């Protein structure tokens, strides 16, 4: 199987965080003979847009992205070339695969050996430390791309590769059991609406926290049992406790990117509850009442995207129809407008870019 690979491509470039995003049509495509052993070239069908891409574009995280930068880390497409002298590749030319936030891990440092590949001491990250998926072609590594089942469309798979994997792993390690209450601040957003579905698929009862009629309709349709609008409630903590048998949630997975969402969580969790720290505000501290964190035996766990196994599990659940990403398909030319809508919190579900457009 061979493909006609062009010399140049369309790509969205961030040259400086102080300058507007640029869409250019003549960015070089790495040619097959230029690929290092272990690298693969993927022709992309689509790329999801994540809040992390906005942080990379704005440069407002404590860790800075490389510049100039092609952002994006939720790409799906077909492998069109693999570097010469690549041995024991788990994928082949023509396979449809996904590109994730974790582009590469060494698989031999202590975090990697313990299953924390996403925290690899030598890790490389798509759309942050290496060029990502806001382009028609992207270079990745054969050991780290994720095979996509034929039953899952590229557009549906895109956001599962980041938003889906992230919330799936957080719920998986939240110490909850079937029938437990899980509280999901930011439930109507890109991560949150997937978290609702994974939680329901895993037998949990969901309290959704967000605002607005559109998001309420979405999360209730997806299986949430209780809804709390954070703009309308007079006492969010009281309402969450009342919604969870008067005892509080067994766990909270906070995908909202605000410090306030974390501060409230310890108050509405029950004895022995678990707070999963997921959403990444640009600048915020984790605030928790020490007295009640101790007295209530609260566990606070950071959960950072997922490893290669988490990705395969999250994709497989979606491929069986248990989780569906609600998305709008847009052209790459609308990436700047998408960033604006993300900043304003106006997006319900997810935005996916058609890289063939």
Tell how strand 75-82 and strand 146-147 pair up: unpaired
- Model pLDDT, residue 111: 97
- Interatomic CA distance for residues 187 and 193, integer angstroms: 5
Q: Name the nearest CA neighbour of 97 among 164, 159, 144, 151.
A: 144
Every domain range in the chain assigned CATH 3.40.50.720 = 174-302
Can you spell out the DSSP letters for 134-154?
A: SBSEEEEETTT-EE--TTS-H
- Interatomic CA distance for residues 304 and 289, integer angstroms: 23
- Interatomic CA distance for residues 191 and 51, integer angstroms: 10
- Interatomic CA distance for residues 186 and 175, integer angstroms: 20
- Model pLDDT, residue 347: 78
Every domain range in the chain assigned CATH 3.90.180.10 = 8-162+306-354
Tell how strand 249-254 and strand 22-28 pair up: unpaired
- Model pLDDT, residue 262: 84
List beta partners, residue 254. Answer: 277
- Interatomic CA distance for residues 318 and 167, integer angstroms: 13
Enumerate residue ranges in the chain where pLDDT < 70. Answer: 257, 282
3-state secondary structure of 53: helix
- Model pLDDT, residue 251: 98
List beta partners, residue 76. Answer: 46, 98
- Interatomic CA distance for residues 201 and 195, integer angstroms: 10
- Model pLDDT, residue 1: 73
3-state secondary structure of 1: coil
Tell how strand 269-277 and strand 249-254 pair up: parallel
- Interatomic CA distance for residues 279 and 300, integer angstroms: 13
Q: Name the nearest CA neighbour of 81 among 122, 39, 129, 127.
A: 39
- For residues 248 and 161, the answer to whether their CB atoms sit within 8 Å is no
- Model pLDDT, residue 60: 86
Burial class (CB in 10 A: 0-12, 13-18, 19+), 229: middle
List beta partners, residue 267. Answer: none
Query: How many other CB atoms are found less than 10 A from the CB of residue 236?
Result: 20
- Model pLDDT, residue 175: 97
Select the CATH number that applies to the domain covering 8-162+306-354 from these four: 3.40.50.300, 3.40.50.1000, 2.40.50.140, 3.90.180.10.
3.90.180.10
- For residues 67 and 17, the answer to whether their CB atoms sit within 8 Å is yes
Annotation: CATH topology of 174-302: Rossmann fold (3.40.50)
- Model pLDDT, residue 84: 96
Give per-residue pLDDT as tens, 209-245.
999 999 999 999 999 999 999 999 999 999 999 999 9
Q: Name the nearest CA neighbour of 187 among 216, 163, 162.
A: 216
Give per-residue pLDDT as tens, 125-154.
999 999 999 999 999 999 999 999 999 999
Q: How far, in Å, are 10, 46, 77, 173, 254 from residue 355 at the CA level?
A: 9, 5, 10, 34, 31
- For residues 19 and 26, the answer to whether their CB atoms sit within 8 Å is no
């Amino acid at each position: 199987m061979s493909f006609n690979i062009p010399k140049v491509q369309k790509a969205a470039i961030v040259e400086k965080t102080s300058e507007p995003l640029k869409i250019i049509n003549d960015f070089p495509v790495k040619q097959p003979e230029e690929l290092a052993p272990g690298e693969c070239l993927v022709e992309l069908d689509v790329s999801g847009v994540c809040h992390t891409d906005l942080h990379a574009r704005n440069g407002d995280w404590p860790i800075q992205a490389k510049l100039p930068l092609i952002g994006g880390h939720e790409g799906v497409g077909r492998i069109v070339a693999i570097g010469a002298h690549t041995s024991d590749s788990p994928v082949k030319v023509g396979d449809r695969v996904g590109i994730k936030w974790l582009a590469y891990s060494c698989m031999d440092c202590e975090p990697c050996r313990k299953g924390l590949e996403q925290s690899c001491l030598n890790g490389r990250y798509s759309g942050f430390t290496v060029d990502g998926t806001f382009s028609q072609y992207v270079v990745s590594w054969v050991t780290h791309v994720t095979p996509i089942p034929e039953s899952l469309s590229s557009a549906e798979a895109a956001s599962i590769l980041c938003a889906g994997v992230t919330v799936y792993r957080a719920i998986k390690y939240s110490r909850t059991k079937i029938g437990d209450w899980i509280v999901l601040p930011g439930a109507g957003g890109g991560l949150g609406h997937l978290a609702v579905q994974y939680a329901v698929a895993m037998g949990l009862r969901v309290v959704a926290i967000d605002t607005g009629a559109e998001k309420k309709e979405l999360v209730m349709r997806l299986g949430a049992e209780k809804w709390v609008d954070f703009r309308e409630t007079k006492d969010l903590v009281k309402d969450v406790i009342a919604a969870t048998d008067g005892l509080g949630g067994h766990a909270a997975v906070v995908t909202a990117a605000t410090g306030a969402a974390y501060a409230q969580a310890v108050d509405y969790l029950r004895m022995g509850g678990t707070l999963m720290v997921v959403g990444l505000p640009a600048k915020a501290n984790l605030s928790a009442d020490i007295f009640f964190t101790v007295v209530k035996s609260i566990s606070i766990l950071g959960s950072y995207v997922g490893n290669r196994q988490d990705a395969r599990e999250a994709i497989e659940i979606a491929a069986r129809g248990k989780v569906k990403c609600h998305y709008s398909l847009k052209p790459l030319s609308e990436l700047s407008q998408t960033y604006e809508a993300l900043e304003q919190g106006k997006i319900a579900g997810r935005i996916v870019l058609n890289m063939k457009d």
